[in-house]
Amino acid sequence: MRAEENVLLTQTGAGTPMGELLRRYWWPVTSNGRLLRDPVISVRLLGEDLTLFKDKSGRIGLVDRRCAHRRVDLSIGIPTEEGLRCMYHGWMYDVNGQCVDQPTEPEGSHFNEKVRIKSYPVQELGGLIFAYLGPEPVPLLPRWDVLVWDNTYRHVGASVLNANWLQCMENSVDTSHTEYTHGWWFEYHVLDRGGGTGNPEHDAIAQEHADSFKVRHLKTEWEVNEWGIQKYRLREGEAEDTPDWTIGHPLVFPYFVRLGGKIRSELQIRVPMDDEHTLHLDYMAYCPGPDVEVPEQDYVPYFEHPLFDEAGRPIADYVLAQDLAAWWSQGAIADRENERLGVSDRGVIMFRKLLMDQMKIVQDGGDPINVFRDPAVNERIDLPVNVLPGPVTRSAFSEKDDHRMSLTEMGDMTAVVGDNAGFKLSHYHMDRYSPALNQILEIYRRYEEVRLQRA
């Protein structure tokens, strides 16, 4: 790749070709649970510094980071019934950025009417707060399946990494990394260099976890479809009719990958904060199918998960941390001029081409893919994915379909039913950082209960 092409692909700012493409989409910036905890937060999105707030009447606004008066940071402001007040002299803005009060100006002054700061539309869906920074007419907020499923419990794990968003997205079409990143690297850190868990039983399960990822890919394929790129894999020991090969799972253009599961489905969302930083949101939706009722949920919890331990070393013992380590370690902006791409990188090349093609469509005045304007199409967009929630027919814990989580849930479940032997195993999943861990374990417990009743 030429240096100019790498610049073109990695810029996020307004006025750049990629920045303009990215501005055609609604971007999630946080969850409603986070706003319940912190009603005013700073947001950096596509190189812009903004303030997101929920006023005391429940309206959500996304406005300029700074007050028009003397540039104080509004993200440390005071939410009110009508909007957001600056902490310095109390100027107040509504969700449209209009200044509606200037308490330190003389009575009868209409100066406030002339003051308006930048604001962008926001919408809430599936517990996520989405923002749109692009031109009008504003497209519909896409109703992706997991955002609108019933009987689903959700939480969001977040991390900020010092890396361009494209590195994270390229991973979604880099199928074979799983062998090394999640298999061999995990094994090296936990069992080899880490010296094991100190418990032979746990070591055996950690080994099984590593081995489940170390399986070689026999075939990998990619295909551009309506929503992005569908990716397919066939691994050693699998039959050609495995859903991983016949259905695959999608990279949804331009910013997330959708993973399926019998209980847990996932959107791994990569939000470009600027050219060198990404907010990674792992949106996890626990849907055990129609037979099991999930716990009630008023809001979607938001939790941060760390990338480094106390000694500053990369955390290597849960799957997403392993991916994140690969992405930030490519550098803030990967040096693509010096890459040597192989046959296994065909998906990466396909994604870069798709980005270039869609950039061109925007430059020519068209709508890129996944910009929806027809409400009938947007009722619920079901994505093709290898594993879907289904009726309770078999254990949630030992099936290959859910191999990424089987270790964790098996461990957590035994902890829940009082068997300490399993407790440490939960260590290998990022849910260990979630405030909703107990609700999620409850879903698995209920699922197992129904299964055992039927067995």
Q: Tell whether residue 403 is a contact of ligand FES (CB under 6 A).
A: no
Q: Which stretch binds ligand FES (CB under 6 A): 85-93, 344-352, 386-394, 437-445?
A: 85-93
Question: Does residue 122 belong to the site contacting ligand FES (CB under 6 A)?
Answer: no
**Alpha carbon distance 18, 8 (integer Å):** 6
What's the min distance (Å) between Cβ of 278 and Fe ion? 15
CB atoms within 10 A of CB 455: 9
Give the residue, chosen from 8, 41, 60, 72, that forms a contact with ligand FES under the rule CB under 6 A.
Answer: 72
Beta bridge partners of 251: 229, 257
Nearer to Fe ion, 133 or 259 (CB): 259
Counting contacts by CB under 6 A, is residue 89 touching ligand FES? yes
Label residue 331 left, alpha or beta by phi (over 0 means left) and psi (-120 to 50 means alpha): left
The stretch near ligand FES (CB under 6 A) out of 87-95, 182-190, 217-225, 411-419 is 87-95
Binding footprint of ligand FES, residue count (CB under 6 A): 9
- Using the contact rule CB under 6 A, the part of the chain among 81-89, 281-289, 336-344, 380-388 near ligand FES is 81-89
Spatial distance between the Cα atoms of 129 and 146, rounded to a whole number of angstroms = 15
For residue 1, what are the CA distances in angstroms to 36, 338, 361? 45, 8, 21
Contact flag: residue 67 with ligand FES (CB under 6 A): yes
Q: Which does 89 bind (CB under 5 to 8 A by kind): ligand FES, Fe ion, none?
A: ligand FES
Question: Is residue 53 part of the contact set for ligand FES (CB under 6 A)?
Answer: no
Beta carbons of 425 and 284 less than 8 angstroms apart: no
Select 111 or 308, whichever has its Cβ closest to ligand FES.
111
- Pick from 1, 73, 88, 96: which binds ligand FES (CB under 6 A)? 88
Cα–Cα distance for residue pair 401/22, rounded to 1 Å:
33
Residue 278 near residue 168 (C-beta atoms within 8 A):
yes
Report if residue 91 touches ligand FES, rule: CB under 6 A: yes
What's the Rg (C-alpha) of the chain? 23
Cα 356 from Cα 5, distance rounded (Å)? 9
Spatial separation of the C-alpha atoms in residues 24 and 27, rounded to whole Å? 9
Cis before 17 (ω within 30)? no
> Per CB under 6 A, does 380 bind ligand FES?
no
Distances 198 to 190, 203, 209, 225, 440 between C-alpha atoms, Å: 11, 8, 17, 47, 27
Applying the rule CB under 5 A, the residues between 83 and 122 that interact with Fe ion are: none
Q: Is-contact 241 425, C-beta < 8 A?
A: no
Rounded Cα–Cα distance for residues 303 and 286 (Å)? 16
Which of ligand FES, Fe ion, none interacts with 313 (beta carbon under 5 to 8 A by kind)?
none
- Give the integer Cα–Cα distance in Å for 195 and 211: 17
Using rule CB under 6 A, residue 86 touches ligand FES: yes
Note whether 275 binds Fe ion by CB under 5 A.
no
Q: Which does 323 bind (CB under 5 to 8 A by kind): ligand FES, Fe ion, none?
A: Fe ion
Of residues 315 through 374, those in contact with Fe ion by CB under 5 A are: 323
Least distance (Å) between residue 72 CB and ligand FES = 4
Q: List the x/- string, 278-317, binding to Fe ion by CB under 5 A.
A: ----------------------------------------
Q: Give the interface size with Fe ion as a residue count (CB under 5 A).
A: 1
Beta carbon nearer to ligand FES, 88 or 299: 88
Q: What is the binding site for Fe ion (CB under 5 A)? A: 323
Q: What is the binding site for ligand FES (CB under 6 A)? A: 67, 69-70, 72, 86, 88-91
